Amino acid sequence: MNFTYPKNERLKSKTTIGLLFSEGKSVSKYPLRLVYRVAEAHQEEKIKIGVSVSKKYFKKAVDRNYFKRVLRETYRLNKHLLLENVTESYSFMFFYQTKDKLSYEEINTKTIQLFEKFLQQVNKITDSEAKTDL
């Protein structure tokens, strides 16, 4: 199992990020939020992810950077949940949305729950599409 977060998995494209906010769907598990969208066909990676912490909640860059590092780390350690269960390529934005300073363990637990909730939502969509095709 590969527990890395290489550059080619990082979401950097402004157009893709713009499309995520305009056309993306969302899944939340307090205090985390995942905005996702099926990626374009030319995307070579199965998952591209960006991380964001709002300046509204954390005025100091030190605090924002700490929570961004924690989010990237929890993604890195739990991305196997996504890679093993998705069939299409996705683009994600991963948000931390609270003033509360949760511990790493709490954020890690919430990340796992969020990924499971995302997989349930995606499976419901694909199941309903399969039923309409019949």
Q: How far is Cα 87 from Cα 105, in angstroms, rounded to an integer?
A: 29
Q: What is the mean pLDDT of the chain?
A: 90
Percent of the chain with pLDDT over 90: 72
Residue owning tokens 């996705």: 90
- List, for residues 10-27, the tens digit of each pLDDT value: 999 899 999 999 999 999
Q: How many CB atoms are located within 10 Å of the residue 74 CB?
A: 23
Q: Name the residue ranges covered by the structural domains of the chain.
A: 7-128
pTM here is 0.88
pLDDT at residue 126, rounded to an integer: 67
At residue 125 the predicted structure's pLDDT band, cuts being 50, 70 and 90, is: confident
Element (H, E) at 29: strand 25-29
Please state which CATH class domain 7-128 belongs to. Answer: alpha beta
- List, for residues 64-94, the tens digit of each pLDDT value: 999 999 999 999 999 999 999 988 899 999 9
All residues at 6 or more sequence positions from 81 whose CB lies less than 8 Å from its CB, including other chains:
112, 115, 116, 119
